[in-house]
Amino acid sequence: MRFAVEGAGEVSALLVRPKNSRWLLVLAHGAGAGMTHPFMEKLSDELRAVGVATFRYQFPYMEQRRGVPDSPAVLTATVSAAVRAAKDAASDLPLLAGGKSMGGRMTSQAAAQHPLDGVRGLVFFGFPLHPPNRPGTKRADHLAEVTIPMLFLEGTRDTFADLDLLRPICSKLGPQATLHIIESADHSFHVLKKAKRTDADVLRELAETTVSWAKRL
């Protein structure tokens, strides 16, 4: 499947829709890996198991195999175009949108600029609040402009999101924001061996938490 992004050509997308689908999540990839990265594939599989269809897509720079991400304007335009394409592909399913790391942040920026048509909530799989080990909150300034509920899924070892900074941000956003913390997980949702759980367990938790939260929207 392909769809057009204004001023940036066409990009590829993958729709995974189980028979028992109750939601469709428009799912953007992170900065360094595209929609077919193993994390994206495994996450899509876990979401499918709990009745969440996914519409994964490429940003133009990834489609064109360029190493540097597109400008924020192109990235947010891609998010908006992906939402429209997903709605056309499965018009009967209620929409969620979000993504891994940068993909989630670009989705929230797009939603802050103007409502994403039909999207009822945003899901962030590791919101990149700041560069690794350089704490700051500027990247969260736009979240106050988002008018729909947001789910933050964050690991305690995520060097892109100091929880001492993220917790008060979510508190300030009030009932609009839900923060779910995953013990021992890093930005890629890998867990330490001593955690007595596996990466697969974490992926299942991500999917189950997403669908539980969506049911309350």
Residue (of 52, 13, 59) closest to 33 by Cα position: 59
pLDDT in tens, 28-87: 999 999 999 999 999 999 999 999 999 999 999 999 999 899 999 999 999 999 999 999
Q: Which residue has the tokens 């495994």?
A: 42
Structure tokens at 159: 């060097």
Q: Can you tell me the mean pLDDT for 162-178?
A: 97
Q: Which residue has the tokens 């400008």?
A: 71
Question: Where are the extended beta strands (E) located within 89-162?
Answer: 95-100, 119-125, 150-155
Residue (of 216, 144, 135) closest to 174 by Cα position: 144
What are the residues facing 17 on neighbouring strands? none
pLDDT in tens, 126-159: 999 999 989 999 999 999 999 999 999 999 999 9
What are the residues facing 143 on neighbouring strands? none
Q: Work out whether strand 52-57 and strand 9-16 pair parallel, antiparallel, or are unpaired.
A: antiparallel
The pTM of the full predicted model, rounded to 2 decimals, is: 0.96
Q: Work out whether strand 2-5 and strand 9-16 pair parallel, antiparallel, or are unpaired.
A: antiparallel
Q: Give residue 9's pLDDT band: very low, low, confident or very high (50, 70, 90).
A: very high
Residue (of 164, 150, 88, 91) closest to 121 by Cα position: 150
pLDDT at 195: 81
User: Could you give the 3-state DSSP secondary structure of residue 105?
Assistant: helix
Rounded Cα distance, 161 and 136, in Å: 9
CA-CA distances (angstroms) from residue 201 to 46, 100, 136, 204, 206?
10, 18, 30, 5, 9
Are the C-beta atoms of 29 and 35 separated by less than 8 Å? yes
Is 7's pLDDT higher than 90? no
Query: Cα angle at 23 between 84 and 201, to 5 degrees?
Result: 120
Are the C-beta atoms of 202 and 182 separated by less than 8 Å? yes
- In order of their start, the domains of the chain are 2-215 (3.40.50.1820)
pLDDT at 186: 96
Question: Where are the extended beta strands (E) located within 29-68?
Answer: 52-57
pLDDT in tens, 184-193: 999 999 998 8
pLDDT at 67: 86
pLDDT in tens, 81-116: 999 999 999 999 999 999 999 999 999 999 999 999
